[in-house]
Amino acid sequence: MTTTTTTTPNDVNIQAVADLANKITDAPDVARTTWKASVDWHEGFRSTARIREFDPVASDEPAALGGSDTGPNPVEQLLGALGNCLAVGYAANATAAGITINDLSIDLEGDLDLHTFLGLNPDGNAGYESITVKVNLDSDATTEQLTALHDQVTSTSPVGHTLARAVPLQIDIR
């Protein structure tokens, strides 16, 4: 038996993505998915998130916020989630367009006022006031191709869309 291996730019299994898109075209309900995480508190501000079968992801606060600084805090993880989502988008969409990525890094920063989090302004915003993302993309693609790639990625990022609009949030206690 002969096995054929198809090499794509950026080492992305674009066929798996195409297969899923075709499956969703044939059966639109397949697109409705639910993702889950479970978080266990340990002590202080330390907790871990469990996601599928992966190793737990640690979370803590910096010492200045009363933590022991054993892991990134939740707002840092949110920035990381956005950056990771964008990286997936660039890799997938570049591959689909036949664009090779030589190097990609994404720098993110968010401005957050701690007044509400610390209980000093209960009517304020405890979340980010703004998030700035700088994408550093090295490729031999043309400026037009990179602009089209960037537009495609930013218009289809699930985490980007989640952050850019109000999402119904229900938090219950048992």
Confidence of residue 9 (pLDDT cuts 50, 70, 90): confident
Per-residue 3-state assignment (H helix, E strand, C coil) for 48-71: EEECCCCCCEEECCCHHHCCCCCC
CA–CA distance, 139 with 145 (Å, rounded to integer): 10
What structural domains does the chain harbor?
A: 9-164 (3.30.300.20)
pLDDT attached to residue 34: 95
**Tens digit of pLDDT for each residue in 25-78?**
999 999 999 999 999 999 999 999 999 999 999 999 999 999 999 999 999 999
Residue 4 has pLDDT above 90, yes or no: no
Assess whether pLDDT exceeds 70 at residue 110.
yes
Q: What are phi and psi of 51, to 5 degrees?
A: -130, 120
What integer pLDDT is reported at residue 127 of this predicted model?
95
Q: What is the pTM of this model?
A: 0.91
CA atoms of 174 and 161, how far apart (whole Å): 30
